[in-house]
Structure 1
Amino acid sequence: MRFLTQKLLALAAFAAPAFAGEIAKPSTDSTDNFQRFSAVPVLGYTEETQYQFGAMAIIFFKPEFEGGKASELDLSFYGTSRKQVTGSISPKFYLLNDRISGNVELHYEDWVGNYFARKNNPDIDDYRKFDRQTFYLKTHINTNFGTKQWHPDFKYGLFFEFNSTNIDFNNYHYHGSIEEPENTDGWRNGIGYHLSIDTRDNTNWARHGYLVQWGHYFYNKGLGDYSYTHQELDIRGYSEFIWNTSMAVGFLWQRVDGNAPFDKLAGSDGLKRFRGVEKNYFYGEQAMFLQVEFRKKLFWRLAGDIFFEGGKTGDYFSDLMRNKWHRSLGFGGRFALNKKENLYARCELSWVDFKNVGMTMYVRDAF
């Protein structure tokens, strides 16, 4: 997301309450002090949305066994002073003694977006506005049935997405040279698989271990309106650092082949991979991201982080290798929604390409 310098004070004033405290204090019982519920307001300001107003809430469910992982139900809704609206319901579950896990995301948004054209180095001040209405249901399911005996950390699973999107460029006047993309509206329905080796000690804030995951997702006109494939390799490592600080290192490579809509190509997402820019600020058929982050708990429910990110895109591998890196340096504050589960909401500022300031608010870590 893009920010003007004169708005930084307003941004800080309106973003701070999101980390001021929990709306509902966690309920406890006399035996295990299990936290049932947590919520925070969404209050912020960005150049893309202007003022944001809403709330996020998480309901926690007791693990099936001692030391097991807690299932969750995530709820979020917010609107903006630019008449943008978004909401989501997302259960995250662990079943059969954590042998099956996954998440489901039901999401709707009526949004105003900016199209910067398909390139690695766009002009941040040259874009076409569009209206987007999106509804999607997305599911990831993982299991280690049949593999636990020979590799307990190996998992495999399925991916499903049902996505209906309508995009309209006609409501805004534009006098530049950026042409409208060809592929916009329609159903983007797909199915795929992923394979992973996951030794992380915690899926929210990991302090030890690593994750290596390969995903291959297929979208076909037999299911929707587009035919393309999406491949990605996600590698992450975690370790302890000095002064009780944890260090996280991430690498992501993405590739999209076929007749994909412009908003489904490989590129920045603005929340987890290259924070502080709008979704698909830079994008192409392939994308690569490198991330390093240092996280530290401070006191009470507060924590902080500093990070460095690099990212670039290209339409084929040699193009990707030639293109210049986008770079981002940033820091943020965190508020613990559930200390036992190491679940934090975060608010971060980014210095994008050492020229523009961006902001990100999200629940859970970027990687």
Structure 2
Amino acid sequence: MIVPVKKISATVGLALAISSAYAQADSANVATDSAAADTAKHFQWWSAVPVLGYTEETELQYGAMVNFFIPSSFKGGNSQEIDIAAYGSTRKQFQFAATPYFYLAHDRISGWLDFRYQNWVGHFFGIGNDVDMDDYISFDRETFFFMALVESNLGLPPSLQFFRYGMVLDINHSTMEFKEYDGEIALPANADGWRTALGYHLTVDTRDNPNWARHGMYLQWEHRFYTDAIGDFGFTYQELDLRTYGETIWNTSMAVGLVWQRSDGDVPFEYMAGPDGIKRFRGVEMKYFRDNQALIMQVELRKELFWRLAGDIFFEGGKVGPYFSQLLRNEWHRSVGFGGKFALNKSERLYARAEFSWVDFKSLGMTFYFREAF
């Protein structure tokens, strides 16, 4: 969950985790082999995190995150998971999201489903890299969103098990009402309607863990095709995501990420390339700066502290442009920050995080979310 802010006059963050009791599971009900049954004897089945915050952007914000875990049917396999989050604010903003993560056929087939409803007050800062955080058009948006990814390495030799291929589906319906505005920002041309896409997804993944990775690398290429045959817009979206992980001194892990995005065609303004503010360039509103192409760089140090607590410090840079050569010439937006983490499930390395960012060395931002940023 993100709490984007321009300036913070007061901020209160509460992240109390309530872990489930550890189940004494019967091996016949949990797995098909004795190794899985031994693992499941002390398996954590769920966790919950209430979050409370205050910013100028949202006023009082309140909500909760709940995670349910299902043990793997074999030793060393990935646990399946269902994440549920709901939150609202005193500015009549509300969002509900449910995301199941699944692993089938001895983890040879995997993916996730994302169901989301949002009734939100947002801000449009215009298009381009040079935007003014104090100049925007407010809008009310209602969105029904479904996205799914299924990927597999079936049919590949053992030497290529780190490679996965798959398909991605995106179905989104949004309606927006823009508030009166007398400034120089032009209203977006594309707003209401259906966004419907099917695309392909290619991944090289050698990480030791999908949540908090300490070793390995992750390379993803995704290309989605939105059609006006069964939707209201025809455009394409491409994304290249490169991450690498390693260990430094004092048992500290380091993550480095680079993301390039591109959108072409009759693109609704919220699908233009730019930061999401939750995982990519934290502490700003979603697509605070946006254009046809975006480049985002991230470096983060992560350290386990004691009990279920951990912390991180990070540096992020991002910029957008209408085409690649202009993108490279444009100046970087920069952000530094730090945060605290609470382990929702230590065996799965799943943490909830609360982070502060200093954006462009001018404005403060705050982010609440579970899972790592990248």
TM-score bucket (shorter structure): over 0.9
Contact 2:20–2:45 under 8 Å retained in 1: no
1:150 deviates by: 4.2
Contact 2:7–2:365 under 8 Å retained in 1: no
Question: How many residue pairs get matched?
Answer: 357
**Percent pairwise identity:** 54
SS of 2:327's partner is: helix
1:292 deviates by: 0.3
User: Which residue does 1:101 correspond to in 2?
Assistant: 110
Q: How do 1:179-198 residues align onto structure 2 when only pairs under 5 Å count?
A: 179-198=186-205
Report the TM-score, using the length of structure 1 for normalisation: 0.95
1:26 deviates by: 3.4
User: Which residue does 1:346 correspond to in 2?
Assistant: 353
SS of 2:22's partner is: coil
User: Which residue does 2:7 correspond to in 1?
Assistant: 4
The alignment status of 1:213 with 2:208, answered yes or no, reads no
SS of 2:21's partner is: coil
Quick check: 216-225 or 338-347, which moved more?
216-225
* Matched residue type, 1:118: I
SS of 1:263's partner is: helix
* Matched residue type, 1:61: I
1:175 deviates by: 2.2
CA distance in 1, matches of 2:17, 2:165: 38
Contact 1:190–1:223 under 8 Å retained in 2: no
SS of 1:243's partner is: helix
1:281 deviates by: 0.5
Which segments of structure 1 move beyond 4 Å, counting only runs of 4 or more?
A: none
The alignment status of 1:115 with 2:124, answered yes or no, reads yes
The RMSD of aligned alpha carbons is: 1.1
1:178 deviates by: 1.1
Gaps of 5+ in 2: 26-37
CA distance in 2, matches of 1:194, 1:46: 37
SS of 2:331's partner is: coil
User: Which residue does 1:65 correspond to in 2?
Assistant: 74
Structure with the bigger RCO (C-alpha within 8 Å, sep 6+) is 2
Quick check: 140-149 or 320-329, which moved more?
140-149
* Matched residue type, 1:53: Y
Q: Deviations over 1:62-91 (max 9, x none)?
A: 112011000001111111000111001110
User: Which residue does 2:32 correspond to in 1?
Assistant: none
Q: Deviations over 1:21-48 (max 9, x none)?
A: 31x5333327431000100002112222
- 2:143 aligns with one of 103, 128, 134: 134
Q: How do 1:148-187 residues align onto structure 2 when only pairs under 5 Å count?
A: 148-169=157-178, 172-187=179-194
- 1:302 aligns with one of 298, 303, 309: 309
* Matched residue type, 2:24: D
- 2:17 aligns with one of 10, 16, 21: 21
CA distance in 1, matches of 2:274, 2:232: 21
Report the TM-score, using the length of structure 2 for normalisation: 0.94
